[in-house]
Chain A
Amino acid sequence: MPISSYLLPYDFSPLTLLSYMLVLGFYGVALLKMPEKDRPGSGRIITFTLGVMLCYGVMQTRFDYYSQYMFFVHRGQHLILHHLGPILIALSNPLPVMRFWHQKMSRSLRYWLQPVGWIYRVLQQPFIASFLFVGLIYFWLWPPIHFDAMLSRQLYWIMNWSMLLDGLLFWWLIFDPRSPAITNALGYGKRILLLALVAIPQMILGAWIVFSRGMVYDVYEVCGRAWPMPPETDQLLGGLLTWIPPAMMSIIGILIVLRRAMHEDGKFLRRRSLAGGNA
């Protein structure tokens, strides 16, 4: 097979292609037009682009074919859509770009977009966000639901998009670059707690898949595998991918948040006490 066919989508989705083009387009235009002092450095730009392209890659290249017909590749796909891609995007701190476009919006557009803000604030309640984060993984891996999702093209697309959007929401909550000391972003302690809390159910689910004797996800057996591989091996690898990397990412996340908390320790304290003293 020629190399180009590996880069072309297995199941072409115009809406997906358009969304990615819009995201990269808006990001690029903002970079060019924003004032020099706000512009993210090249490291951040590369991180953002890498995160976006990783997600695009698992959705619209040959990778998607293997994800549909191999359980462990499917787990890898969700690892990128729900964890790695959104983590990179959130860490790249695209806040200046979002601010740029927010300022460019007309007043009426901002008015009409208000409900989006409300929904966002509800979804970013720490309890709801972590419940959604873990709940979606459990929901789509619930064997009967998983079976239907792999059989129906619509459900399959809903599954992948819901994982990506939820991943972005959750990791943005965790890596929100605004300091909780001076904004209403989530406190660092709570962020660490959330990361630890969401890791546990993922580890339980992964371990359960790994140690299951029977076939938990027979849809890959029913629908044929991309290449002949023993079903037990496929399930074992898929279980490990559900179990270990997400737990590791939680730990890395905790370390990153800790480092930021230590850097900021005392930094905003003086200002606040000054303000308190004035009052």
Chain B
Amino acid sequence: MIASGIVETDSPEEFIEEIEKSQDVLPRKIDANPKNVEKGLAKLVLTLIELIRKLLEKQAMRRVEAGSLSEDEIERVGETLIKLENKMNELKQIFGLKDEELNLNLGPLGELM
């Protein structure tokens, strides 16, 4: 017996691509192979750190938008954000992880971003 759930679209490839991207919420399974455990855990941890970094960046942007930062504060916030971004890039390199792998799909929580 074959499932007959009908799926209709004139662009199946595009939808396959987007659906697969959207399903990468968190690493789908943690590979228990000792060689890969480290990378799996790194992915998880860095995804969360990346989330925090993005939240901080967004907060800063809201302050800039509201005009509530002094010139000096803008300077210092900029400096810190640069450092954070550089650190993340470093960590990504060390663990051989790409941006797409660290993208956290928050679903409804994404509204909070």
The yes or no verdict on A and B being binding partners is: no
